[in-house]
Chain A
């Protein structure tokens, strides 16, 4: 059994800042992420094809961006958070050799459904690669151990 920190709904306050996450952008991440998401569009793994499209290098696909957003938020929320939405707006591309830095904070909290909303951005040297919001249902207080 892996032990991981679990964020409880009552522990979260609006304005809470998530720990930042730095993601080095590599060819392996871009090409590997594309294939792990079954996206064989050549611009994500073939340098010549990417250049023909006018890009300096292969560029990250959207489904990998989604995966990294999940990692950033889940790393803070813990394994028992249940995602109800993951909404992103796409900005500048992620190219190899760059770094993407995630930051985010809690911008909504609904006690009725134990849902919290996180607003986040993932920024590289060119600007924001991704901005968006994620909604999560967090567990309540643990039941007393018998």
Chain B
């Protein structure tokens, strides 16, 4: 439970307005060109004065995603141009931190644009503490979603003009794990998500070894010849412990299916179609579907197995539609 004193202090801050933060530089061509260069943005309306003069704005404009750039403080933290406010729009985060919520992560950045920003214009923004949510627990830990809205303006002698807004939401939280950042393991390479490996037992080993050789093997009772899948130690028909395996043709039909849309979990593709396939030998198995349109799946459609190797270690059977 959050401390009642904290909740009360936070509540008094919500809705508070913070003063102006000015841009160090007016909107200018060199900063725009360098931004376009690194981002790979090649719209000539931002960099080609002749093209822009004939364009919809009658001159060069700044890329919209640069809106925030103009008012950044730069190398020295909290070093804003003269005339900027001394107030700290992030004071609520400091307040929450004092109650033991040490970590912060940005969650949402929502830019909206009222009009283009032209070369030579000078920007400033004001900040409003829009909301602080109730205490929530996420995968990261327990804390508060804090939403700030920065309203951006251009200075004009005849009255300043709004040009756009940034809604910025962070999660200020106490980490779920006791492990602190400093103790986190340091890896040279980011870990790539891999397919989870199956648990292999004496009963199932033949199946995975078959996949590695490009064979779809089905368990068969040595006593009564009943086929069974998934593999198990005992025949479901005659209770014999004796078994061997046969290679399936790999042909089957779609008995049922599901298409996973959410959550998107690496390394799987999404949407992720998964089938329950009835093999022509009579048993059913679950496997990924490949070469299918998510709207094109049909119960009963004919499929053929193929094998793909993932992460250079795991061969899996996948089923692909075949002409009928």
Contact = CB atoms under 8 A, between A and B. Distances in A.
Interface in B70-127: 72-75, 77, 105-113, 116
A67 B193 contact: no
Contacts, number: 144
A64 interface: yes
Given A36-B34, A51-B186, A98-B190, A2 B64 contact: no
Contacts of B180: 54
Q: Is the interface of B mostly helix, strand, loop or mixed?
A: loop
B112 A63 contact: no
A95 B191 CA distance: 10
Contact of B193 (A64, A79, A127): A127
B292 interface: no
Contacts of B39: 33, 36, 64, 67-68, 70-71
A139 B56 CA distance: 10
B40 interface: yes
B290 to A, nearest CB: 18
B69 A85 contact: no
Interface in B18-69: 31, 34-35, 37-41, 43-45, 48, 50-51, 54-56, 63-66, 68-69
B120 to A, nearest CB: 18
B292 to A, nearest CB: 17
B51 A86 contact: no
Contacts of B37: 36
A78 B153 CA distance: 27
Contacts of B64: 70, 83, 86
User: Chain B contact residues (Cβ within 8 angstroms of A): what range?
Assistant: 35 or more
A88 B64 CA distance: 14
A127 B68 CA distance: 26
Interface in A52-86: 52-54, 56-57, 62-71, 74, 79-80, 82-86
B324 interface: no
B187 interface: yes
Interface residues of A, number: 51
Contact of A85 (B40, B54, B111, B184): B111
Interface in A104-130: 121, 123, 125-128
A11 B103 CA distance: 47
B178 interface: no
A142 B65 CA distance: 27
Given A63-B69, A86-B65, A87-B110, A56 B189 contact: yes
A53 B264 contact: no
B188 A125 contact: no
B156 interface: no
Contacts of A123: 264, 266
A61 B214 CA distance: 45
A84 B109 contact: no
A17 interface: no
Contacts of B50: 1
Given A65-B109, A123-B266, A139-B56, 20 more contacts: A36-B34, A36-B69, A37-B68, A37-B72, A38-B69, A52-B182, A56-B186, A62-B109, A63-B69, A66-B109, A67-B41, A70-B64, A74-B43, A86-B65, A86-B110, A89-B107, A90-B109, A125-B267, A126-B190, A127-B193
Interface of B: 31, 34-35, 37-41, 43-45, 48, 50-51, 54-56, 63-66, 68-69, 72-75, 77, 105-113, 116, 167, 180-182, 184, 186-193, 264-267
5 contacts: A38-B69, A38-B73, A54-B181, A79-B45, A85-B112
